[in-house]
C-alpha cells in the first residue's frame, strides 16, 4: 500500500477544518463551503488519488493509508494543532479511519450522510462492478446511474443546473482513480466498535431524501458516540452540502463555534 501525495485547497484563516469529499466527486464539491466558511476557519480540502487534481496512486490504496496521507499533508503544512474533520459519505468513512488512528489530532468531527458499517458481501460485489464499469465504460454511464441516488428529488426537480454540475465533476475524475476509490471503500473496516471510543464533540448530519445510506440509522450512531448531536436537513438528498448549502453551512458553523 502506498501513501500518495494529494492536491488540496488551503483557504481562509482560523481554526483548521479538513473537508473530506464524497465518491465519486472531488474537492470542488466544497465550493459552497469555501465561500461561506473560509471567513471563520482555515479550510483544507484534499482530493483523493486520481480524483480532481491528485495523481493516481501507483498501487491500490486503503482508507487507512489515505488517512495517513491526510495526516502527512497536515504535517507538510506545519499544522500541528488539533483539527476538525468534516467528512461526507466516503469522506465520513475516511474520517472514521482518521479518528481510529489519530484520535489525539482531532478536536471535533462532523459526519455527513455517512455511516460506520462495512459493506455487505453484496455491497462489496457492487463496488467491484462499479470499478470495472469505470475502467471499461468510462465515467459517463456511472455518473448517469448514480446521479438519481446522489441528488434528492427536490434538487433534481428544482435545480437541474446542479445535476449538470455534479455530472461534470464526476466525469472530470480519472477512471482509474474512481475504480481505486470504489475498491478502497469495499475493503473498509467496520467502524461500529469505534463509536463508543469517540470522545470528541461529533455532529451527525443527514438528508431526508437520501437513499444511499443503509444500515445503522443516524439515531443509533448518535446513541453510541458519547458526545454527539444529530441534525436532519430537509429537502436534501445525499449531497447535503451542495443541495442545501445554506442549512448545511449554518449547522456546521454553529456546531464548530460551540466546540
Name the residues that contact ligand MLT, by CB under 6 A.
22-23, 89-90, 185, 212, 238
Q: Identify which of residues 4 and 207 has a Cβ nearer to ligand MLT in the complex.
A: 207
Rama region for 9: left / alpha / beta (φ>0; ψ in -120 to 50; rest)? beta
Rama region for 234: left / alpha / beta (φ>0; ψ in -120 to 50; rest)? beta
Residue with cell 451527525: 204
Compute the least distance from the CB of residue 102 to ligand MLT, in Å: 21
Compute the least distance from the CB of residue 130 to ligand MLT, in Å: 8
CA dist 152 → 208, 233, 250 (Å): 8, 12, 20
Compute the least distance from the CB of residue 203 to ligand MLT, in Å: 18
Q: Identify which of residues 42 and 238 has a Cβ nearer to ligand MLT in the complex.
A: 238
| Closest to 120 in 3D by CA, of 65, 185, 67, 62 | 185
CA distance 189 to 98: 12
Q: Identify which of residues 15 and 135 has a Cβ nearer to ligand MLT in the complex.
A: 135
Beta strand 202-207 with 228-233: parallel, antiparallel or unpaired?
A: parallel
Q: Which residues contact 60 (CB under 8 A, 6 or more apart)?
A: 1, 180, 183, 184
Q: Identify which of residues 68 and 119 has a Cβ nearer to ligand MLT in the complex.
A: 119
Compute the least distance from the CB of residue 238 to ligand MLT, in Å: 6
CA distance 91 to 171: 19
Q: Identify which of residues 37 and 185 has a Cβ nearer to ligand MLT in the complex.
A: 185
Instruction: Tell how many helices (H) and how many strands (E) occur in the chain.
Output: 11, 7
| Closest to 20 in 3D by CA, of 82, 75, 84 | 84
Compute the least distance from the CB of residue 183 to ligand MLT, in Å: 12
Compute the least distance from the CB of residue 39 to ligand MLT, in Å: 27
Q: Identify which of residues 42 and 175 has a Cβ nearer to ligand MLT in the complex.
A: 175
Amino acid at each position: 500500500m502506498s501513501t500518495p501525495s494529494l492536491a488540496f485547497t488551503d483557504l481562509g484563516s482560523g481554526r483548521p477544518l479538513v473537508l473530506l469529499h464524497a465518491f465519486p466527486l472531488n474537492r470542488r464539491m466544497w465550493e459552497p463551503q469555501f465561500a461561506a466558511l473560509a471567513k471563520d476557519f482555515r479550510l483544507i480540502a484534499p482530493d483523493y488519488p486520481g480524483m480532481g487534481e491528485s495523481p493516481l496512486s501507483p498501487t491500490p490504496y486503503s482508507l487507512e493509508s489515505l488517512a495517513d496521507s491526510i495526516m502527512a499533508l497536515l504535517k507538510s503544512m506545519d499544522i500541528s494543532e488539533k483539527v476538525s474533520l468534516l467528512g461526507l459519505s466516503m469522506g465520513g468513512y475516511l474520517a472514521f479511519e482518521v479518528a481510529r488512528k489519530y484520535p489525539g489530532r482531532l478536536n471535533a468531527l462532523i459526519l455527513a450522510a455517512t455511516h460506520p458499517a462495512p459493506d455487505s458481501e453484496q455491497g462489496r460485489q457492487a463496488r467491484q462492478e462499479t470499478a470495472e464499469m469505470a475502467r471499461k465504460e468510462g465515467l459517463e454511464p456511472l455518473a448517469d446511474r448514480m446521479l438519481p441516488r446522489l441528488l434528492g428529488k427536490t434538487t433534481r426537480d428544482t435545480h437541474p443546473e446542479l445535476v449538470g454540475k455534479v455530472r461534470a465533476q464526476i466525469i472530470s475524475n480519472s477512471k482509474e482513480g474512481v475504480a481505486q476509490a470504489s475498491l478502497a471503500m469495499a475493503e473498509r473496516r467496520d467502524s461500529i466498535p469505534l463509536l463508543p471510543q469517540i470522545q470528541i464533540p461529533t455532529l451527525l448530519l443527514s438528508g431526508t431524501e437520501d437513499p444511499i445510506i443503509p444500515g445503522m440509522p443516524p439515531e443509533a450512531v448518535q446513541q453510541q458516540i458519547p458526545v454527539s448531536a444529530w441534525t436532519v436537513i430537509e429537502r436534501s438528498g445525499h449531497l447535503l452540502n451542495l443541495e442545501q448549502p445554506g442549512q448545511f453551512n449554518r449547522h456546521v458553523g454553529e456546531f464548530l463555534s460551540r466546540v
